[in-house]
Amino acid sequence: MQPRLIVLLGVVAVTVLLPLAGASAGPVGDGDAKSPLPAPSPLPSNTPPPPAGKPGSSLPGLSGASAEAHCGPELSSPDGIEAQTCVLTQGHDTWARTYYRNATGDDLNAVLTVMGPDGRTVQTHCAVGAGDEPGACETPRERSVGEAAEYSAVAEFAASESAALLLRSGSNSASPQGS
């Protein structure tokens, strides 16, 4: 065989075998743990997702004091959107965050609202790109008024601002009012 042909065959072999080696290795440290809707790269890498449906769960890893999360259940729609919405508190601040996956194949819009015990609301609009990668949207942090359990949050996902609602996800953390 000619040396050029041997080199060419070697390059082809490496090109074919290298992706197979990476695929069989899998992600490092993945184990069997399945966390609900993991936080995407736009969030600080040391911010873990909240535990599903566990009010008052601590979120270590945020700078300073640990954060507390009051989260609603993970929900999914037949259209292919999954979400979990939380109210987060850290020190004297409160805000909302929704974790999502958009497997609809279309770009979506999300509106995330956090409602406080004093009647104030903070609302954020987020673009939700097409694709099955996890993502998150959060409201700005505001000074807390009252107890964390008195706050609630809701995220609404739609194909466009005038389109029908695909999914509504809530934190379910507000205390019932009345007797």
| pLDDT tens track for 52-69 | 444 444 444 455 567 899
pLDDT at residue number 65: 62
Give alpha helix (H) positions in the chain: 3-25
Q: How confident is the model at residue 1 (pLDDT cuts 50, 70, 90)?
A: low
Q: Is the pLDDT of residue 80 over 90?
A: yes
DSSP string, 85-103: EEEEEETTEEEEEEEEEE-
- Using DSSP, state whether 164 is helix, strand or coil: coil
Query: What is the C-alpha separation between 87 and 71, in angstroms, rounded?
Result: 6
- 10 Å Cβ neighbour count for 47? 17
- Name the amino acid, one letter, at 99: Y
**Rg (Cα) of the chain, in Å, rounded?**
21
Q: Is the pLDDT of residue 168 over 90?
A: yes
Work out the average pLDDT over 32-58. Answer: 39
Mean pLDDT of the chain: 72
pLDDT at residue number 35: 33
pLDDT at residue number 2: 59
